[in-house]
Structure 1
Amino acid sequence: MRAAARRTRSPASPAVPATGITVYGCGPDEAALFRELAPHFGVVPTITAAPVSEADAGLALGNRCVSVGHQTRVTDATLLALRRIGVAYVSTRSVGYDHIDVRSAQRLGMVVGNVAYSPDSVADYTLMLMLMAVRAAKSVLRRVDVHDYRLPPARGRELRDLTVGVVGTGRIGAAVIDRLRGFGGKILATDSRPKAGTDHVPLDALLRQSDIVTLHTPLNADTRHLLDRRRIGLMKRGAYVINTGRGSLLDTGALVLALERGRLGGAALDVLEGEEGIFYADRRNRTVPNEQLLRLQELPNVIVSPHTAYYTDHALSDTVQHSIVNCLEFESGSPRG
């Protein structure tokens, strides 16, 4: 896995042949940005709304680089189909790459790259979810929607009186910590690479001491169900869980059980296990094939949003530009490491 591009490349010389990139799973807003930015880099994008798949691998014929979204799993079969037609580089338009079978890509001699984008998008959203959770915003708004303007049954809490535990202090986690400092409460953090200036403690200690736990660590074999039944059981009674990282960092079944039993004060989730095929789709007139999601949405102290924390104009522009630059650097033989 190579590092994300973090600089702007100068427009390509007219004498240099244009580089082709096939862009899969591209929504209208991303497509507009690719069409706007690609010519400045000497790139000709082949844009499709179709998610990357074995069946649609042929759309990449003639291009060594493809750009994919985070909504679709990139399987071994898909990678093999892409490799057979000459694709050597897969750029995902996301920080996380747990949706790609990276080991299969490596076996096939392919390189996988992620992107960097404004951490402020997710950090701002995370603070919004924290404030909504501790002020019971979901319950308040639901009552107002039916013209019930009484005060809520429970008083809200102020962040300055609470301890917030930040799990993962990469670019997003660090941006969350920067924002939290302005509220004046106590901040704890845990990370495999502790950073100076932050009170780092082991994960179990963080869970025991925190009133709010917010997740910002990458998803991998070691962090899947990082908050499982045992660790959720360590949390303070009435504590809140915030997840804008990846759904599988949380054992959803254990979370639902703790919420139903009143063990936790609430949760605010922008990501969820089994969100694939549900989030980003209009399901108003269709069934939602995820019973845990439906149960969470029934609970008055749980906020669910459809993986939208990253979705700002600034972050989306970063994502498209860095995906293009990653591909160009791969083609030039000078990938950033």
Structure 2
Amino acid sequence: MTYSEQATAVRRTRPPSSSAVLKTGITVYGCGQDEAAVFRELAPRRGVVPTITEDAVSEANSELARGNRCVSVGHKACIENSTLLALSRVGVEYLSTRSIGYNHIDVRYAESVGITVGNVSYSPDSVADYTVMLMLMAVRNAKSTIRRADVHDYRLHAVRGKELRDLTVGVVGTGRIGAAVMDRLRGFGCHIVACDRRPETSADHVPLDEVLRLSDIVTLHTPLNADTRHLLNRQRLARMKYGAFVVNTGRGALLDTDALVSALESGALGGAALDVLEGEEGIFYADCRNRVIESKSLLRLQEMPNVLISPHTAYYTDHALWDTVENSIINCLKFEGEKQYG
């Protein structure tokens, strides 16, 4: 039985929530079939009537939210301010994004037109597991090894792999996901250094430049905002240890992609493993097999034998999907309750 089947079986034994009498309406935008199935299962138990569309929220489909104060949106596309204004005009007062980050929304503008923005939490284990997997694949030359095996070339790779216990890993951002990554890394016996503006975890916390100088692997787990955009720029990448690896499962724009390409081409970096990429919008989550990819940096990175690319999928597990939908519904119900009881 899968996790989602187990979770479903457990939840079926629970009595309906007392909030069921509210009969709250929520318009759910950018909802894939997997999310829709969970919404349709969970919403009635919470007394929620969902209006579901696979289309991303836009000015053109804002009318779908008329009559509902709450909407739930995906993270796969940026939300224009004109869309936020249109939502406010049809009566939307609360927007729950089904993601931890909300860099795809102008939160200040939303507030200025009367919309409160909330994010969701989900198990950090999904991203933490994936991050460690990418680290292992990077230091063991997995991309080249698998590609050679696929064409029946079973010779050993010219470059030997490395063992995590012999390496220093720098964790930039020690929130829930960064802390979960460190928990996993301790089992491998590697040395861990960390950097965070508000250090709360038991690790060797040092300034960012010191993390870059010491680390054989640097992994990024900070939110994306004006202060962290291009956190690893050309100057900081140049300070990294020769032959080090960069892992990014946070947000693409934490890395200056052009600078990363240059550092990889020069041989200064040993490789990169990227689940997120600057400019991924409109490419990741789409079937691009029969279209031209216009991102030169993506194409160049995918050519490199020491670079792993995956399409922003680290979070995508049964457990995290359930958490995301359930918490989006809960966010909206809390907002409705606050509005009702003030």
Q: 2: CA distance between counterparts of 1:51 and 1:331?
A: 23
Q: 1: CA distance between counterparts of 2:246 and 2:108?
A: 32
How far apart are 1:10 and its partner, in Å?
Answer: 7.4
Amino acid at match of 1:217: T
Q: 1:280-303 deviations in whole A, cap 9, x for unaligned?
A: 111111111211001000000000
**2:287 aligns with one of 278, 282, 285:** 282
**2:192 aligns with one of 170, 187, 192:** 187
**2:244 aligns with one of 236, 239, 243:** 239
Q: 1: CA distance between counterparts of 2:19 and 2:202?
A: 48
Amino acid at match of 2:198: R
Q: Residues 39, 294 of structure 1: CA spacing in aligned structure 2 closer, same or farther, 3 A cutoff?
A: same
- The 8 Å contact of residues 22 and 66 in structure 1, kept in 2 or not, is answered as yes
Partner of 1:265: 270
Match of 1:230, SS state, is helix
Q: 2: CA distance between counterparts of 1:13 and 1:209?
A: 54
Q: Give the TM-score of the pair, scaled to structure 1.
A: 0.95
How far apart are 1:106 and its partner, in Å?
Answer: 1.3
- The 8 Å contact of residues 208 and 235 in structure 1, kept in 2 or not, is answered as yes
- The 8 Å contact of residues 163 and 186 in structure 1, kept in 2 or not, is answered as yes
Amino acid at match of 1:61: R
Match of 1:265, SS state, is strand
Partner of 1:96: 101
Amino acid at match of 1:94: S
**1:143 aligns with one of 148, 165, 176:** 148
Partner of 1:11: 16
Amino acid at match of 1:128: M
Amino acid at match of 2:103: D
Match of 2:21, SS state, is coil
Partner of 2:7: none
Q: Residues 10, 227 of structure 1: CA spacing in aligned structure 2 closer, same or farther, 3 A cutoff?
A: farther
Partner of 2:125: 120
**2:307 aligns with one of 285, 297, 302:** 302
Partner of 2:319: 314
Q: 1:252-279 deviations in whole A, cap 9, x for unaligned?
A: 0000000001010000000001101100
Amino acid at match of 2:305: P
Q: 1: CA distance between counterparts of 2:56 and 2:180?
A: 31
**2:182 aligns with one of 177, 198, 201:** 177
Root-mean-square deviation (CA), in Å?
1.5
Match of 2:204, SS state, is coil
Amino acid at match of 1:143: R
- The 8 Å contact of residues 10 and 41 in structure 1, kept in 2 or not, is answered as no
Q: Which runs of 5+ in 1 are unaligned?
A: 1-7
Amino acid at match of 1:199: D
Q: Which runs of 5+ in 2 are unaligned?
A: 1-10
- The 8 Å contact of residues 190 and 200 in structure 1, kept in 2 or not, is answered as yes
Partner of 2:60: 55
Q: 2: CA distance between counterparts of 1:87 and 1:237?
A: 52
Q: 1:35-93 deviations in whole A, cap 9, x for unaligned?
A: 00001100000000000111110111110000000001112101000000000001000
Give the percent of matched residue pairs that are identical in Structure 1 and Structure 2. Answer: 72
- The 8 Å contact of residues 19 and 46 in structure 2, kept in 1 or not, is answered as no
Q: Residues 334, 63 of structure 1: CA spacing in aligned structure 2 closer, same or farther, 3 A cutoff?
A: closer
Amino acid at match of 1:163: T
Partner of 1:161: 166
**2:336 aligns with one of 314, 331, 334:** 331
Partner of 1:225: 230
Q: Residues 15, 161 of structure 1: CA spacing in aligned structure 2 closer, same or farther, 3 A cutoff?
A: closer
Larger RCO, structures 1/2 (Cα 8 Å, 6+ apart): 1
Partner of 1:3: none
Question: Which is richer in helix?
Answer: 2
**Runs of 4 or more above 6 Å deviation:** none
Match of 1:266, SS state, is strand
Count of paired positions: 328
How far apart are 1:14 and its partner, in Å?
Answer: 8.2
Amino acid at match of 1:291: K
How far apart are 1:17 and its partner, in Å?
Answer: 3.7
How far apart are 1:11 and its partner, in Å?
Answer: 3.3
Match of 1:333, SS state, is helix
- The 8 Å contact of residues 252 and 292 in structure 1, kept in 2 or not, is answered as yes
